[in-house]
Amino acid sequence: GWPRSGGTRGRTAMDLFGDLRRMNKRQLYYQVLNFAMIVSSALMIWKGLIVVTGSESPIVVVLSGSMEPAFHRGDLLFLTNFHDDPIRAGEIVVFKVEGRDIPIVHRVIKVHEKGNGNIKFLTKGDNNEVDDRGLYKEGQNWLEKKDVVGRARGFLPYVGMVTIIMNDYPKFKYALLAVMGAYVLLKRES
């Protein structure tokens, strides 16, 4: 074929649409189905993890440096949340506070156990000067078991950095999603 004007500077959007048009409907349907299978498999694995771990978010990413040196920004934490497990001082918990969307990963520093089995506890980030009372909702001085999303059972360092980059730079997130979508749609069966 003739060389394209402008050299081989990569494929243009027109090439992409040409490809999509040439791909027969059955193939396109197959690729969309393929994509749907990947998404539903991921959701099933996630739901399975929720059941197995007892935690509504079995995997979380550390978003701040408040737990350094134990955990750094971008570390991926694996959580469990079994209600029979007693909460102990020194444990690292992930908790949700009313009025805040994002759960917080901090260490339990004090536990009060009442005779009736009710537990109240106080948390603090290892890297913070003060305890978390300033983070709790107005007038709340202690956390209860219902506030806990999970407890840290293991972690992978820095694996969650992609999540942080996507949070900090929304454009990057959309670019990444577009690239993944295009890859799945245009991937030729080898």
Q: Which residues are catalytic?
A: 66, 106, 132
**Nearest CA among 49, 138, 55 for reference residue 100:** 138
**Nearest CA among 143, 85, 77 for reference residue 110:** 143
**Nearest CA among 77, 61, 70 for reference residue 166:** 61
CA distances from 172 to 77, 107, 138, 168, 179 (A): 23, 32, 36, 9, 11
Q: Are β-strands 59-61 and 148-156 bridged in parallel, bridged antiparallel, or unpaired?
A: unpaired
